[in-house]
Copies of this chain bind each other. A is one copy, B any other.
Amino acid sequence: MTGDVLKPSAAGLSRRLAAFVHRSRWEDVPEPVRAHAMRSVFNGFGTAVGGSSDQAVLRLTESLAPFSAGETATVIGHAQRRDALTAAFLNAAAINVFDFDDTHAGTIIHPTAPVAPVVLALAETRPVSGAELLHAFTLGVEVACRIGNAVSPSHYDRGWHITSTCGIFGAAVAAAKLLDLSEDEILWALGNASAQASGLVETLGFMAKSTGVGNAARGGLVSALMAQCGVEGPPRPLEGPRGFLKVCSDQPRPELIEGGLGRDWEMLRNMFKPYPCGVVLNPVIDACLSARANPDFSADRIAEVVVRGAPLLKARADRPEVTTGREAQVSAQHAIAVSLLRGRAGAEEFSDAAVNDPQVKALRAKVHPVEIDAGTPVEAAHVSIRYADGSSVEVTEEVATGSLARPMSDSALREKFVALAHYGCPTIAVAPLADTLWSLADLADAGALMVLARPCPEVARK
């Protein structure tokens, strides 16, 4: 490490990014980006409802309850409202808790979790239209993902949980935009966020992952609120000699933050997950579901299963021994066993109960350690099922469901939303909530939709 500033092109980067956010108008955002922003909020809202009754979220809720000042903001799926910072924390945790939320191609940031809760919480404290909310959200996602691009791949490889570390900048910027901060203040918000950027891959598979993700949303919001009160930050929080880019990446590429800014929108590289687990498992599960759909399939006769995929698959999800649903989200062995046995891979298949199902345990033990094929992209995988009689089935998945090349359809997104609502908060008013979110861009008062995000005892389970 030298003490030098990054290459000259990076000089003034943080300020220019703040200026971009400050001057951006909703009219400048192309329609496909706007529509995808809505889909992202929709998808994230659904995963929040699904995650709202998860143990991690409940325990975090309990721990923060004594420190919430008033009831201004809705915790999705909960009756009790909290203050904006607490609600932002808990909703971020809930969106991401099952790893069922969205994924930005390239960085594997889950951008909605840290960003959306901030704009939703602010929308309950001041009049904000749906378009204003989506605009701030879009800018937050853009900043988080572009900073992620600039620190990738060494950032995540080294062990930073990129959703949290970069997400806080997106959360700060989204809040700053909705608070109508000045260019200077947006720069300070980035600076306050830089002082709080954190999150470790080591926590994945444990409740402490949610601590990091929740903290990204809360920390981003508080960074903007601090900036609004005049808490000044450094002029170069990103590109400075000891700024975020150099400290948190072995080979930062600051030029990726500005290249095409305002023209090429990272939002369009945001993918929705068909399965509630690490995105590297998508092609593996696709392959298993294909194999199971074969009329000759028989789980009882399986002798062993071999999975071969990208190096990242092995790095992230080679986990034969799991004891909790949370660990199962990053276990190829569990994903293979449960999807082959049940023909589904929803929230229930990654629950503690599924992990401890004797049938699942027995089949999981037959899945070999993940084999690496260096030439396989992360969207692809190969599964080989060998039966006791010596016969075998080979399935190669080239392009996983939920990838950029094969996105989930709008109807599939709605199905996912409904299933998650039933799983996490059966008494929520699913259809009105889904309909309202889908028309978010046209709402005059975005905060009003949050009343639909609470449990509603008179709603019967559908």
Contacts and interface: CB of A to CB of B under 8 A. Distances in A.
Contacts of A215: 195-196, 219
Given A226-B60, A226-B63, A229-B59, A191 B203 contact: yes
A228 interface: yes
A216 to B, nearest CB: 10
A113 to B, nearest CB: 14
Contacts of A69: 66-70, 83
Interface stretch (A31-39, A132-140, A152-160): A152-160
Nearest to A235: B206
A243 B60 CA distance: 22
Interface string A174-210: 0000000000000010011011111111110111111
A447 B209 CA distance: 33
B191 A206 contact: yes
A261 B164 CA distance: 33
A310 to B, nearest CB: 14
Contact of A201 (B63, B164, B242): B242
B315 A222 contact: no
Interface size class of A (residues with CB under 8 A): 35 or more
A159 to B, nearest CB: 3
Interface in A103-124: none
Given A66-B69, A84-B67, A200 B233 contact: no
Number of copies: 2
A91 to B, nearest CB: 16
A243 B1 contact: no
B225 A211 contact: no
A206 B225 contact: no
- Which DSSP category, helix, strand, loop or mixed, fits chain A's interface? helix
A231 B56 contact: yes
A203 B208 contact: no
A15 interface: no
Contact of A202 (B158, B194, B230): B194
A222 B63 contact: yes
Contacts of A70: 69
A231 B63 contact: yes
A368 to B, nearest CB: 18
Contacts of A228: 63
A442 to B, nearest CB: 30
Contact of A67 (B3, B83, B210): B83
A382 interface: no
A197 B194 contact: no
18 contacts: A1-B158, A63-B231, A64-B222, A67-B69, A67-B84, A192-B208, A194-B200, A196-B211, A197-B198, A198-B198, A200-B242, A200-B244, A202-B236, A202-B242, A206-B234, A207-B233, A211-B223, A215-B219
5 A-B pairs with the lowest CB-CB distances in the bound complex, closest first:
A159-B242, A195-B212, A198-B198, A159-B247, A208-B233
